[in-house]
Chains A and B, each alone.
Chain A
Amino acid sequence: SQQGEEDPQALSIQEGENATMNCSYKTSINNLQWYRQNSGRGLVHLILIRSNEREKHSGRLRVTLDTSKKSSSLLITASRAADTASYFCATAGGQAGTALIFGKGTTLSVSS
């Protein structure tokens, strides 16, 4: 079953604009991760935020986590055409041995 639900399903922006994607989940988590998937490729890990963290940055990426609302957001600043991809949030449960559960993803298209 899929726990994370990304919103929006698709997003189209111009180069230089910011892109924001949201993820909601249902049960308690140990951490939440964001992955990127370029067309026809495997997934690439972007960032991991633990349940006791509220915000994390990595380059042009900013991730927030609100465990009270069971939601996370991924902000990509100053988007580039190369950011065109699908973005997935994945949650890790609180119990040892639980693997990641992925959402359906947000498809981001950045045009020049």
Chain B
Amino acid sequence: EAGVAQSPRYKIIEKRQSVAFWCNPISGHATLYWYQQILGQGPKLLIQFQNNGVVDDSQLPKDRFSAERLKGVDSTLKIQPAKLEDSAVYLCASSHGTSGRGETQYFGPGTRLLVL
């Protein structure tokens, strides 16, 4: 089966600009996650969707970050305006079920963002 797809793979922007990332999860996976991974650290959850509803967005900086998952499939993550500290790899992952009890997650290759 096809894995989690993400685009773009790399993005360089100036601070205060906006940027959007796209994710297509594995077909049939109900739960979708966006993580931020800063260099040298583990991934940090930004937002978790179950179908097209938000389960957890407690660590999403809502003044500048937004995300949506229309029709319960693809998802976009947007940053507006970007700050220098947003430079990181943005990872999308999906899991099959809806129990949320720490299911195995399948990750995309990530989008590496550099904010200058």
Interface, chain A (partner B; CB < 8 A): 2, 4, 29-31, 33, 35, 40-45, 48, 88, 90-93, 96-105
Contacts and interface: CB of A to CB of B under 8 A. Distances in A.
Interface in B84-116: 91, 93, 99-110, 112
A100 B45 contact: yes
B55 interface: yes
Nearest to B33: A99
Interface of B: 4, 33, 35, 40-45, 48, 55-56, 91, 93, 99-110, 112
- Which 3 pairs show the lowest CB-CB distances between chains A and B? A92-B102, A102-B42, A42-B107
Contacts of B110: 41-42
A98 B102 contact: yes
Contacts of B41: 2, 104-105
Contacts of B104: 33, 45, 48
A55 B88 CA distance: 35
Given A43-B91, A44-B107, A99-B48, A2 B42 contact: yes
The A interface is mostly helix, strand or loop, or mixed, namely strand
Contacts of A93: 102
Given A88-B42, A97-B55, A100-B45, A43 B107 contact: yes
Given A99-B56, A100-B45, A104-B40, A42 B105 contact: no
A44 to B, nearest CB: 7
29 contacts: A2-B42, A2-B44, A4-B42, A29-B102, A30-B101, A30-B102, A33-B104, A35-B107, A42-B107, A42-B108, A42-B110, A43-B43, A43-B105, A43-B107, A88-B43, A90-B42, A92-B101, A92-B103, A96-B99, A96-B101, A98-B101, A99-B48, A99-B56, A99-B102, A100-B102, A102-B42, A102-B43, A104-B41, A105-B42
Contacts of A41: 109-110
A103 B42 contact: yes
Nearest to B35: A102
Nearest to B47: A99
